[in-house]
Amino acid sequence: MNPFRMFLFPILLLVFTGGGIYAQGRIATPLSAAGFSKLTSNKEICSFIRQCDTLSHLVTASFYPLENGLEIPVVSISRPENKERCLRILFIAQQHGNEPAGMEAMLNLIAAFAADGDHEILNGIELMVIPQCNPWGGDHHRRRNKEGTDLNRDHLLIRAGETAIIQSVFRTFNPEMTVDFHEYYPYGSAWEEFGYRRDFDIQLGGLTNLNTSDEFQRLFKSYALPFVKNHLDRHGFSFFEYTLGDFPAGERLRHSTVDINDGRQSFGITGTFSLIVEGRNGKDSLYHLEKDRKANTRQRWHCFSLPRYTGIRSGKKWRVSVTRINNPLQVLH
């Protein structure tokens, strides 16, 4: 594989910039068309994505049927006229059906590309998006799929049809970077009683399994975390490295699981720079819509959404070069 450069920071901008830029977008997602009054169903997601595919040559959709009759949409966003191989990035969202924010944000992102005709960032990257990995869970506001499998603990045995589709897309697309979008539950009194607060708007996790690249772990700590923190600070969102564990009960405090059976680590052990986003959840899937609408619901959705890639356009040299020649990875900067 030829060496190539990885535009890490503009890509993180893509994930984390919001600030209402896209509020001017011309294609309304089902969520915004409904006035943020209801979450988007699997049927509405697929219908919306088919429309985006029709509208734009940048957007190409595929649909993978499940035994339960629903479909997993997979959306390619790229410039067909690109001659050279671009950096490949895979976004996946809503493996846990009761964590819909990432899915809604991915629809925003797809809409923005479909609406705007062309985007400079697509000169350098190629995106693949699975906005809803768990359609049944999404439609029923349940964490697991219809058969009771936690998809984000199924990437080793791959028992669920949904997980098989995610892994198949990953292997075929062969991305250099993945981002897996989740939400976390900040409520409960134990942390507070212990004297700690854990209610960050956004948490970001990197690779933690010991079989993943040290270089990528350093890249995450040294560059990705401070970059995202500064960016979210400027936009008024609180942020921390993804941290969990029943600390007050004496359990080990940790930066997410280290097991290889979740999506992030399973991608990471193959030499992919993989991140997990944990947005602050409500008390249930609909909480934001019912309780937070007047506050910052829109900003919250947009926090995951699409910017104008100011990092690239302003010519900032926030670039990190990564060479992947089989394994191990070599990070140059």
Q: Which residues bind Zn ion (CB under 5 A)?
A: 96, 99, 182
How would you label 28-53 residue by residue, b for 16+ Cβ within 10 Å and e otherwise?
ebbbbeeebeebbebebbbebbebbb
DSSP string, 299-325: HHHHHTS----HHHHTT----EEEE-S
CB-wise, 134 or 213, nearer to Zn ion? 134
Name the minimum Å distance from CB 27 to Zn ion.
Answer: 27
* Long-range contacts, stretch 12-15, CB < 8 angstroms, 24+ apart: 12/224, 12/227, 12/228, 12/231, 13/231, 13/307, 13/309, 13/310, 13/311, 14/109, 14/121, 14/306, 14/307, 14/309, 15/91, 15/179, 15/277, 15/304
CB-wise, 182 or 302, nearer to Zn ion? 182
Name the minimum Å distance from CB 139 to Zn ion.
Answer: 17
CB-wise, 102 or 307, nearer to Zn ion? 102
Spatial distance between the Cα atoms of 170 and 282, rounded to a whole number of angstroms: 30
Query: Which residue type sits at 115?
Result: A
Name the minimum Å distance from CB 276 to Zn ion.
Answer: 8
Backbone angles phi, psi at 106, to 5 degrees: -65, -35
CB-wise, 119 or 182, nearer to Zn ion? 182
CB-wise, 45 or 103, nearer to Zn ion? 103
| Beta bridge partner(s), residue 73 | 63
CB 220 within 8 A of CB 8: no
CB-wise, 88 or 182, nearer to Zn ion? 182
Name the minimum Å distance from CB 277 to Zn ion.
Answer: 10
CB-wise, 181 or 227, nearer to Zn ion? 181
In the bound state, the residue with its beta carbon closest to Zn ion is: 182
Name the minimum Å distance from CB 93 to Zn ion.
Answer: 10
CB-wise, 102 or 175, nearer to Zn ion? 102
Name the minimum Å distance from CB 14 to Zn ion.
Answer: 21
Q: Which two tokens stand for residue 62?
A: 């595929």
Q: CA dist 203 to 1, 175, 185, Å? A: 33, 23, 12
81: left (phi > 0), else alpha (psi -120 to 50), else beta?
Answer: alpha
Name the minimum Å distance from CB 234 to Zn ion.
Answer: 27
What residues contact 257, with CB distance under 8 A and at least 6 apart?
208, 265
What residues contact 226, with CB distance under 8 A and at least 6 apart?
none
Name the minimum Å distance from CB 99 to Zn ion.
Answer: 5
Name the minimum Å distance from CB 96 to Zn ion.
Answer: 4
Q: Is 115 helix (H, G, I), strand (E, B) or coil?
A: helix
Q: How far is CA 328 from the centre of its chain?
A: 25
CB-wise, 53 or 201, nearer to Zn ion? 201
